Amino acid sequence: MARKQADEIVIYHNPRCAKSRAALKLLRSRGIEPRIVEYLKTPPSQAEIERLLGMLGLEPRALMRRKEKTYKALGLDDPGLRRRDLVRAMHEHPILIERPIVVRGGRAVLGRPPERVLELV
């Protein structure tokens, strides 16, 4: 029987990231094959980023990789930037998005540490 869409588990994944690979391995070790979104190849829309932020209960900078060169190069540490500017930056430069993000239904967790993804299982 196919899994209902509400039960579908989605991982926003970067295969080059050790934490992301570990989270995916944890899910698979529980017999779960999530839908994988390689967000560097297919960046989430601004609306999707807002939806993820809402499910995570985070503000944009809390979901950003602030040590990334792009963060500094774009001046994203400027406190005068608006939320929509930060969300647009994540859409246009998905390398800025912290990973992995795992979603199930209306809930999401940031897989840092990777074991946090088990909260959704």
Asked if residue 1 is part of any domain, the answer here is: no
Residue 3 pLDDT exceeds 60: no
Total number of domains in the chain: 1
Residue 6 pLDDT exceeds 70: no
Asked if residue 25 is part of any domain, the answer here is: yes
Asked if residue 15 is part of any domain, the answer here is: yes
Query: What's the domain range around 40?
Result: 7-120
For residue 113, whether the previous peptide bond is cis, meaning omega lies within 30 degrees of 0, is yes
CA dist., res. 116 & res. 105, Å (int): 16
Asked if residue 13 is part of any domain, the answer here is: yes
Asked if residue 2 is part of any domain, the answer here is: no
Q: Which residues are catalytic?
A: 17
Paired with 102 in beta bridges are: 11, 109
Considering the chain, what is the average pLDDT of its residues? Answer: 94
The pTM score is 0.91
Q: Each residue of 49-100: pLDDT tens digit?
A: 999 999 999 999 999 999 999 999 999 999 999 999 999 999 999 999 999 9
Residue 14 binned pLDDT confidence (cut-offs 50, 70, 90)? very high
Asked if residue 75 is part of any domain, the answer here is: yes
Residue 30 pLDDT exceeds 90: yes
Asked if residue 17 is part of any domain, the answer here is: yes
Any idea what the CATH number is for the domain that residue 32 is in? Answer: 3.40.30.10
